[in-house]
Structure 1
Amino acid sequence: MNKQKPIIALDFATKEAAIAFLNLFKNESLNLKVGMELFYKTGMDFVQYLKEEGHSVFLDLKLHDIPNTVKSAMKVLAQSGVDMVNVHASGGVKMMQAAKEGLEEGALNNHKPLLIAVTQLTSTSQTQMNEEQQILGAIQDSVQNYATLTQKAGLDGVVCSPLEASLIKEATSNKFLTITPGIRLTSKSNDDQTRIMTPRDAAKNGSDYIVVGRPITQALDPVEAYQYILKEWQAELK
């Protein structure tokens, strides 16, 4: 998966809508994220279609279950040819280690997807974490704790807010990947995200990959929006 390019979140309800969007890009190779809505509608056949079209795929299913179940699921996902998969870090070290084992056992032709863990969703606020999750302290502390547990489990990195990327690098290492949704342009709505940052600032703050959905997919001119975000992202890459 090319770090130089944003990951576009294909947040569409149908295969037809997603393909119509992709056709705007005239066979350009893209980094794409397939989430729950689209995957549950189209299944692995659509993922295979995206791979055959030359795209890189982040399959965003956020697995969270007992270690044996997650391991078995990851063995299947490893055989799909996707480039990135994820789990919830709150599942614990043993579950994350089992996920890694499943990917290694299921990998075909030495192609093992990047394995990352979700820390706190970018829609989670400080108040929500404290009151609903009953996790005391600052949200940054919770994210840092999940990141260090993920590194301990041997995963490649975490999903986090771009606001927390530099903090995670300090707590882990520069090679530990930070994949950051919550990317917005200053003129756009925050939607349901609460911890956000622009593409340029995300690059400055240490994000390795940015995930962008609605600012591209719902733009009047998606290709123009993508090219603008691409330029902003690449301008500050280290």
Structure 2
Amino acid sequence: MLDQEARERIIVAIDCGREEALRLAHGLSGHARWLKVGMTLFYAEGPSIVREFSDLGFKVFLDLKLHDIPHQVRGAARSASLTGADLLTVHGLGSGAMLAAAREGAQAAAEVRGERTKLLAITVLTSMNAAALEEIGVVLPVADEAARLAGLAKANGIDGVVCSPEEAAAMRELLGPDALVVTPGVRPAGADLGDQSRVATPAEAVARGASHLVIGRPITGAEDPVAAFEAIVSELVAA
């Protein structure tokens, strides 16, 4: 893998307050291509933080996991897209009608901004395992539930999925070569697993079919975030 391709695959998760987020962004500028804005940062700072990251030259993955009635999700997807986000997440569990509404909202925003935000369906959160699914009434094995939701997303105009590295190969086969397969739960060898249950190293995740890797604490929590990022780039290039 070439150096620039490796950089395009890594999405750095910035899950912190504004001051720390901007410090990390300025430090990673010129190294990372993507930043993820999740609920913690977006609920504190709103759309302006997406625009600030975009102005610094980053692509932005807005991870809001929209999940509501179709009317609300249609409007939320339009509003979120108008922030300038490049990727946006919706929950696959919200039904086919909700997923289709998200696509409609993103398409409506594209008529204003000139390009459409790509949509990702959340399948099964990487913090969950079979026992956690059973608690909420899902009796299918994790892999089967992820595949079921991925098929629903594909049928309703969603561009790809978020899944664990364990499901990445199946998602690639199911969704085809052009789909986005974004995998959190990626940890460099020897890193603390934190609250993740289904994980892989960066090289393993890409080998299984991931198009993008979401990596947060191993980079943002490192003593030298840039060095940690570059080490992951080197691992991908070597692999």
TM-score (structure 2 length as normaliser): 0.93
Q: Pick the aligned partner of 2:34 from 14, 31, 34.
A: 31
CA contact (8 A) 2:25 2:53 kept: no
Unaligned runs of 5+ residues in structure 1 are none
Question: Which one has the bigger helix percentage?
Answer: 2
Q: Kindly report which structure 2 residues correspond to 1:104-119, keeping only aligned pairs within 5 A, or say none.
A: 104-107=107-110, 108-119=112-123
Question: Within the alignment, does 1:156 sit opposite 2:159 as a pair?
Answer: yes
Match of 1:201 in 2: 204
Question: Within the alignment, does 1:40 sit opposite 2:62 as a pair?
Answer: no
Unaligned runs of 5+ residues in structure 2 are none
The one-letter code of the counterpart of 2:196 is Q
Deviation of the 1:4 alpha carbon: 2.8
The one-letter code of the counterpart of 1:112 is R
* Other structure's SS at 2:223 match: coil
Deviation of the 1:233 alpha carbon: 2.7
Q: Pick the aligned partner of 2:69 from 46, 66, 69.
A: 66
CA contact (8 A) 2:31 2:226 kept: no
Deviation of the 1:24 alpha carbon: 2.0
Rounded Cα–Cα distance in structure 1 between residues aligned with 2:178 and 2:29: 33
1:192-214 CA-to-partner distances (Å, cap 9, x unmatched) read 00000000101110000000000
Match of 1:78 in 2: 81
Q: Pick the aligned partner of 2:130 from 111, 126, 132.
A: 126
CA contact (8 A) 1:151 1:176 kept: no
Match of 1:166 in 2: 169
CA contact (8 A) 1:89 1:146 kept: yes
Rounded Cα–Cα distance in structure 2 between residues aligned with 1:26 and 1:111: 24
Match of 1:140 in 2: 143
1:150-176 CA-to-partner distances (Å, cap 9, x unmatched) read 101111000000110111122232222
Q: 1:207 to 1:235 in 2, by over 3 A?
A: farther
TM-score (structure 1 length as normaliser): 0.93
The one-letter code of the counterpart of 2:47 is M
* Other structure's SS at 2:68 match: coil
Q: 1:235 to 1:208 in 2, by over 3 A?
A: farther
The one-letter code of the counterpart of 2:133 is M
Q: Pick the aligned partner of 2:179 from 166, 176, 179.
A: 176
Rounded Cα–Cα distance in structure 2 between residues aligned with 1:29 and 1:137: 37
* Other structure's SS at 2:15 match: coil
Rounded Cα–Cα distance in structure 2 between residues aligned with 1:224 and 1:73: 37
Give identity over the alignment, percent: 37
Deviation of the 1:7 alpha carbon: 0.1
Question: Within the alignment, does 1:49 sit opposite 2:52 as a pair?
Answer: yes
- Cα RMSD (Å): 1.6
Match of 2:188 in 1: 185
The one-letter code of the counterpart of 2:158 is L
Rounded Cα–Cα distance in structure 1 between residues aligned with 2:220 and 2:7: 20
Q: 1:73 to 1:118 in 2, by over 3 A?
A: same
